[in-house]
Amino acid sequence: MELSLVIPTYNEKENIQQLIKKIQEEFTKNKIKGEIIVVDDNSPDGTGKILEKIKKKQKNLKVIHRSEKLGLSSAVLEGWKIAKGRFLGVMDADLSHPPEKIHEMYSIIKNGDADIVIGSRYAQGGKIKGWSLKRKLMSKVATLLARIYTNVKDPMTGFFMLKKEVIEKVNLNSKGFKILLEILVKGKYRAIKEIPITFVNRTHGKSKAGIKEIFFYLQNLLGYLPYKKKVVREFIKFGIVGISGTIINLATLYLLTERLGIYYLISAVFSFLVAMTSNFVLNKIWTFKESMKLKIGEKYLKFSIISLCALGVNLFFLYLFTEFLKIYYLISQVLAIGIAFLVNFVGNKIWTFNE
């Protein structure tokens, strides 16, 4: 057995039969020694019963029945546990992922050209069809946040393949939807390839992604920090630079106002600029270890924009906490500075210093 393809299902009775048929055709046409493992969470619509029926005629089709809806990622992991193949894969049951791409992806991984192959909506040539603007936007923001950890263009896709070794002895947390990102953070791999795909929104049934998924996602993002020592280091350094900037700001303000006799509000604007510039230089060469010359103008502009945004975020939360939550304004400011700091770090990490 070469390829074990897992399909998680929850209420997919209109889709699953057609998908399995297409995958089997791909396997036969391209002489892929593959198996299909469907993991069904006791779907109320009877997906499980349909599977039991078609299983009888297909030797390479396995079905795992779980007692209740236990989540997408955990279903995938459960399926991989009984996988016989050297290569593991996953795709959605709702025909959103093109089975025609299986062969191309499989060839790459089989030839050893990559340890992980990704069916990518955001690689050049990739597309999404049928999603609302809101869903597109949410996906974009989530993908952008993931850049803290990876440069993969579509770390949220539910269509990918990998060598078994990538996740061997790796402890994967199975909460939520985003199993690939978790593998990218914790797995053992060298080369990754992204193959453009067109994601077509389902025509039958409903998406199972909900508000809960957003919460799991943010929780997971924080939880990944210890796995990426580099990010932790950058985070701490960024904080130290921030403190140095505050001291420089105060010192400049004092000098300009007291020694040069400049009106204190004008001094404050200059102090802000001096401190921001010093922060920029230190973060560029020390925190993010870039050469000073690399795109210095463009990056200074980006850094300034994010600094201003962070200032906006600071003022917004200061106002919100003080006026609406009736928190004492100095305490509000401590909380607001914390949030602004996070925005500042994440913004600069994924936008300004992302190369």
Contact characters 164-183, Mn ion, x per CB under 5 A? --------------------
208 lies in the site for ligand GDD, by CB under 6 A? yes
117 forms beta bridges with 161, 193
Q: Are strands 34-40 and 87-90 parallel, antiparallel or unpaired?
A: unpaired
User: Judged by CB, which is closer to ligand GDD: 69, or 186?
Assistant: 69
Nearer to ligand GDD, 43 or 307 (CB): 43
What distance in Å separates the CA atoms of residue 171 and residue 173, rounded to the nearest whole number?
A: 7
Which residues ranging from 76 to 105 are in contact with ligand GDD (CB under 6 A)?
92-94, 96
- Secondary structure class of 32 (helix, strand, coil): coil
Regarding beta strands 192-196 and 116-120, do their DSSP bridges make them parallel or antiparallel, or are they unpaired?
A: parallel
Taking the CA atoms of residue 234, residue 240, residue 242 and residue 245 in that order, the dihedral angle to the nearest 10 degrees is -130
**Nearest distance, CB of residue 120 and Mn ion, angstroms:** 16
Residues numbered 42-81 forming contacts with ligand GDD, rule: CB under 6 A: 69-72, 75
Query: ∠ at Cα 94 (88, 98), nearest 5°?
Result: 60
Site string for ligand GDD, 173-192 (x = CB under 6 A): ----xx--------------
Neighbouring residues of 270: CB distance < 8 A, sequence distance ≥ 6: 252, 256, 262
Q: Which residue is nearest to ligand GDD (CB)?
A: 158
Minimum distance from residue 224 beta carbon to ligand GDD (Å): 16
Provide, for the chain, the percentages of residues in helix, strand and coil under a 3-state DSSP scheme, each rounded to the nearest 5. Answer: 55, 10, 30
Binding mask 187-216 for Mn ion (x = CB under 5 A): ---------------x--------------
Give 72 or 313: the residue with its C-beta nearer to ligand GDD: 72
CB of 202 to ligand GDD, least distance (A): 6
Q: Which amino acid type is present at position 203?
A: T
Nearest distance, CB of residue 56 and Mn ion, angstroms = 27
Directed axis angle between helix 329-347 and helix 229-254, to 10°?
120
Q: Are strands 34-40 and 116-120 parallel, antiparallel or unpaired?
A: unpaired
Single out the segment in contact with Mn ion by CB under 5 A; choices: 75-83, 89-97, 304-312, 330-338: 89-97
Binding residues for ligand GDD (CB under 6 A): 8-10, 12, 39-41, 69-72, 75, 92-94, 96, 139, 156, 158, 177-178, 202, 207-209
Binding residues for Mn ion (CB under 5 A): 94, 96, 202
